[in-house]
Chains A and B, each alone.
Chain A
């Protein structure tokens, strides 16, 4: 019964996976490819192209395509100056510091979550087509080092795509879960995850199925993209030197070079030499050879930046490299031989006769792990029995105190959910508001940390200064997202809190961005409605199949029973067809035919409750209130309709 899918929403590529029996598998797209490039093209209003097809637009209409949008999630203008120098992001001109970013694509503007929602929606459709059922729930992975705003933005993107995000899971932890499925061994594992745009290191303790993260660190500005940018810069410098033309202003040329250097980068993981060849607009051709040695010299500075976070994580975990039993490599960039050498040195692997784990495809392992976590949330099975993930918050949470210093209230690497309670009071007689500034980060001063939100505690009863005692509870949930509640203790009054997320969208804004309103493709809509109608039909049919087992069935007349059989048979035929109207009518007819049965069954359940059964078990029999039009069975998506 898979209804929750696992999604790896990557900087470069995204994937969706689910548990097929006891094994997680990646769901391919229509083109047969497991990877959906995280590229969105909007060549004209209301036409959205995602994935491989969108990539083609990069060299033709680069101003209407966006890639690596994950780098912009949950960030403000002042955070992305570094990004802007290196990426062809076109930020809307009127975006102010402190506002949610808007990306200009042609005449239109989109927030980063809206772009990610398009990628998510593609994955959702791929899964629905493959599984033949509606997919409305997902586990989505995020870099372990993502802060609260970046996590919230990812969750918002899910909601816009019509997905209920059941859990955000950290990418390295997801990878550990995927590996842990096969080998339930106790020990200390380090997951080194170098992806397209982010780097994470997580150290976990495995104990009888518990995956306890003990330290995590990383850099959300470090990945394969940075290697590409270095190579592009060299090519552009070459061209500037040789031809005295600055192609930086020609996005098509930059994109053509980008494609070539990526191919060369990939080739250099298995070859000693690669060639780059780019056609220039004036009929000239740029050619260059690059050896692995040269390549390694160029990228050394990027790869070396992963060292610091690894050492810090070891220090936080209070462990020596020799105490790491296994190292797992995740992310496409870990195919680079130089990266393998660095991890070997960092964790003294070769010296101890050990090799890093690379058995699972480094591009797919995170999605596979997300599917495992999805399965655990569904209640699991023999495959995931006893598996439980205990993750941590990557950054300390603090509040700005007098003088702009940060008072830390939850330390980094605390197991989540985690909470902290703080007390505040007023400084002026009769003061009814208190403002609180919440930040995330390790620095001493609030201005050097990441501003998460400003809260206004309102409705404090007017009292002498210092007399009110307002208790504020900060809670980081299992997704790594902060929740705040407050109470004035002397009056016992719940203080009203107005949360202003520093770089987040409000609930109302997210609501207006839900993709359905922006949905243009009539055909997709039809398709989805058909899938939903089939699900409804399946639900009611499977309930009818089980009906004879219920005592209420015997209370029906022969006529009623044969009517139900007849209408069921019709619905079974309609379900395989494509006619939405007829299918809906058929489901309606069966619902009508079974209504008396449903009523009898409800009465039976109530009666047994009165016979001393607990309200709880009676409640279970009744389901969670009437789920019209099938009041007698909780919704259920049958697995055998898959594939």
Chain B
């Protein structure tokens, strides 16, 4: 994909006929709410390019500003069609804000938009996701310990050594999670540079790296969560 510019069809306001900017929710000349355009993506809602470092304060200001124009409360007395458009526009706005304000969700959204496939949060029908190759051994060990811990629980026993082993393993995985987060942040910066430079092959490479990094992050987080649940229960 050479350029991120979405193709746009020149649209015009249903009410006053003035021409509209791409995906513009409100007509700038008469102020009427418009239908959502089929190709509206979350970055476009905030008139942002597809970059990963975002000024979240500015994003929040934009969200409030648009909410004041689009929220259904402002259309309670409007004709039914405008009420519907306001509902569509403000749900799009809310969905976009939710996805973009969190950097991880923002990355996931960007990658999906770019046609990449991510491992689902929960594998299909609860099937466990695949472990990253370099972690196989540690994960195997951890799962054995977790199983033992659960068995102990059932029998009403407590093994302090096992408990300590699990806490140690958890600390270790949390450390890896932090390392991984730093790596992701570096990828964001690299991505933004590649976008500015208009370097598609670099972008493709970064996309693949980001997918791997996010999958790894999700995998380790689930592991840590499992350990926490087992320790607390």
Contacts and interface: CB of A to CB of B under 8 A. Distances in A.
B64 A417 contact: no
A402 B15 contact: no
B64 A405 contact: no
B76 A166 contact: yes
Contacts of B72: 417, 477-478
A415 B97 contact: yes
Contacts of A207: 64
B79 A624 contact: yes
A614 B15 contact: yes
A417 B36 CA distance: 14
User: Which of B68, B79, B121 lies at the interface centre, i.e. has the most chain A CB atoms within 10 A of its CB?
Assistant: B68
A388 interface: yes
**Quick one: which of B30, B32, B74, B94 has the most chain A CB within 10 A?**
B94
B125 A405 contact: yes
A524 interface: no
Given A207-B64, A402-B125, A167 B90 contact: no
Nearest to A414: B98
A388 B73 contact: yes
B92 interface: yes
B160 interface: no
B87 A475 contact: yes
A477 B94 CA distance: 11
B226 interface: no
A376 B91 CA distance: 20
Given A376-B73, A475-B91, A624-B79, A388 B97 contact: no
A373 B74 CA distance: 11
Nearest to B126: A405
B126 A403 contact: yes
B91 A417 contact: yes
* Most chain B CB neighbours (cut-off 10 Å) among A208, A378, A477: A477
Interface string B119-137: 0011011100000000000
B95 interface: yes
A401 interface: yes
B118 interface: no
A419 B15 contact: no
B40 interface: no
A414 B71 CA distance: 15
Grouping DSSP codes into helix (H, G, I), strand (E, B) and loop, the B interface class, with mixed when no group exceeds half, is: helix
Interface residues of A, number: 34
A471 to B, nearest CB: 11
B197 to A, nearest CB: 33
B205 interface: no
Contacts of A353: none
B205 to A, nearest CB: 29
Nearest to B121: A408
A390 B67 contact: yes
A616 interface: yes
Contacts of B125: 401-403, 405
B171 to A, nearest CB: 22
B16 interface: yes
A167 B76 CA distance: 9
B126 A419 contact: no
Contacts of A420: 95
Given A377-B77, A388-B67, A388-B71, A416 B124 contact: no
A178 interface: no
Interface string A456-493: 00000000000000000001111000000000000000
Contact of A405 (B32, B90, B94, B122): B122
A478 B126 contact: no
Nearest to A445: B126
Interface in A194-215: 207-208, 210
Interface in A153-173: 166-167
Nearest to A406: B122
A208 B63 CA distance: 13
A477 B15 CA distance: 25
Contacts of B76: 166-167, 377-378
**Most chain B Cβ neighbours within 10 Å, of A373, A390, A407:** A390
Contacts of A415: 94, 97-98
B124 A379 contact: no
Contact of B94 (A389, A407, A416, A624): A416
Contacts of A614: 15-16, 30
Interface string A399-427: 00111010110000011111110000000
Contacts of B91: 416-419, 475-476
Contact of B73 (A386, A389, A407): A389
Contacts of B77: 377-379
A228 to B, nearest CB: 35
Contacts of A477: 72, 87
A638 B78 CA distance: 20
A299 to B, nearest CB: 29
Given A208-B64, A478-B71, A478-B87, 17 more contacts: A166-B76, A207-B64, A210-B64, A210-B67, A377-B73, A377-B77, A379-B77, A405-B122, A407-B122, A415-B98, A416-B94, A417-B90, A418-B94, A419-B92, A475-B91, A614-B16, A624-B79
Q: Top 10 closest A-B pairs, CB basis?
A: A417-B91, A377-B76, A402-B125, A403-B125, A415-B94, A419-B91, A478-B72, A616-B15, A405-B126, A417-B90
9 contacts: A207-B64, A377-B77, A388-B68, A388-B73, A401-B124, A402-B125, A414-B94, A415-B98, A478-B73
